Amino acid sequence: MVIAMKDLIAAPSRKSRSRRGFSLAEVVLSLGVVSFAMVSILGMLPVGLSMFNKARNYTVEAQIVQAISNDILLTDFVNLAALADQTYYFDDSGKPLATATENVEAQKVFAATVRLKSLNGNDVAPVNLQSSANGTLTDEAYNVQIVIENKTMPRDSRTYSVLVANNNNNQP
């Protein structure tokens, strides 16, 4: 029995031929759904970029505060008053800027100002924390405030506090 090749390949029937692809209505509907989803995703892009920028700025601010806090904690207590009202400038990545650098104004993004406050907030003198049995003062402390201003967001400034104590300054 010999079977011809054309007998093996059956011609598609009329019903199967009409079911092969998508109709125009199905294509238009699917494009509408995909377009709606893409517009929604693209609409969230500016919000995501804004949140990314804020998170990056907060991270840089934290690095700046940590660096200044380390310098303050390494400073002798009697020399802390010399740091009052000093302003330090940093670029967008948190690197300190030297004032002698060219185009320093264009590079300034963050300004950190150090302020000394007493713990009661009234004056700049250190507050006595405790006194010994004979009435001599044993501990003093400053509330050192670091105010960070972001030049790219003029109304956005934050204050961080560091408590610096002079423990047993009257002890030999």
Question: How much is the pLDDT for 78?
Answer: 81
Q: Is residue 1 included in any domain, yes or no? A: no
Whether 7 maps to a domain, the answer reads no
φ, ψ dihedrals at 126, nearest 5°: -65, 150
- Answering whether pTM is above 0.85, one says no
> What is the enclosing helix (H) or strand (E) of 5?
helix 5-8
138: domain range? 23-167
Quote the number of domains for the chain: 1
In the DSSP assignment, the letter for residue 21 is S
Distance between CA atoms of residues 141 and 107, nearest Å? 35
Please give the angle made by the CA atoms of 103, 145 and 131, to the nearest 5 degrees: 145
- The continuous run of DSSP H or E covering 157 comes out as strand 157-167
Nearest to 109 by CA among 94, 87, 125: 94
Residue 53 lies in a domain: yes
Say if 6 falls within a structural domain.
no
Q: Quick check: is 5 in a domain? A: no
Asked whether the beta carbons of 108 and 89 are under 8 A apart, the reply is yes
pLDDT of residue 123: 57
Query: Hunting for tokens 């804004």 — which residue is that?
Result: 50
Residue 82's pLDDT band (cuts 50, 70, 90): confident
User: Which pLDDT score is estimated for 20?
Assistant: 75
Q: Could you give the CA distance from residue 168 to residue 162 in angstroms, rounded to a whole number?
A: 19
At 155, the amino acid letter reads R
Residue 86 lies in a domain: yes
What integer pLDDT is reported at residue 143 of this predicted model? 84
Confidence class of residue 17 from pLDDT cuts 50, 70 and 90? Answer: low
Q: Record the tokens describing residue 85, joined without a space.
A: 């009202």
What mean pLDDT comes out for the span 151-170? 79
pLDDT at 116: 86
The β-bridge partners of 141 are 127, 165
3 inside domain: no
Of 26-30, 33-37, 45-49, 104-108, the least confident: 104-108
- Whether residue 9 is contained in a domain is answered as no
